[in-house]
Amino acid sequence: MEYVKDPKMIEIKSFEIIQGIIDDIRPGYKFKNEIEEKIIKRCIHTSADFEYLDILKISETAVQTIINALKDGCTIYTDTNMALSGINKMKLNALGCEYKCLVADERVKELAKEKGITRSMAAIEVAMSEEGKKLFVFGNAPTALYKTIEMVNEGKDVEAIVGAPVGFVGAAESKYELEKTNIPHIVVQGRKGGSNIAAAIMNAILYAM
């Protein structure tokens, strides 16, 4: 059997195919800029879903805010270990960034039990109590996204949010609420998203840097 074995060539070929399909199904489609093209195409590459041409929404200051935070050695908080595992650690380490998923943290377990809330929500409360600049990357838990918005409204600081929770209960609604805020954000509208998409968005930005 003949097939492509080189991982770099597989990726190059994939992105060539993606552009070819875009040309076929959406002739004349224009990306806003080069970085948004990289983000959207990486989401398509991860999912094989061309609806990301329309449902991925990037607020005006989001990308530059995320880049600045990464350069400043921020901490990335994810809502799942799967999202965390998908983000390129070599790039983050080179930038001096920390990265965490707190859902299994003992402080989070105790707080969730005490308050009768989800661990994802409790993880946000714990994250907000920590020092330093924060980026939140969500691919699974709408309650985490809702809680972050609530805490920002109460005066807590967040650099930016990648909002990509997938699912049927609160996913679309939580992302709609994020779009209404002034928080720099990258959002997957509707029910789609996922930990792999959240990681893909972050990786697209890291690779562009």
Q: Could you tell me if 170 and 146 are in contact, meaning their C-beta atoms sit under 8 angstroms apart? A: yes
Give the integer Cα–Cα distance in Å for 148 and 17.
Answer: 38
* Identity of the amino acid at 35: I
Segment 97-104 long-range contacts (CB within 8 Å, at least 24 positions apart):
97/70, 97/73, 98/73, 98/74, 98/132, 99/75, 100/75, 100/76, 100/127, 101/77, 102/77, 102/126, 102/127, 103/79
Q: Which residues are catalytic?
A: 45
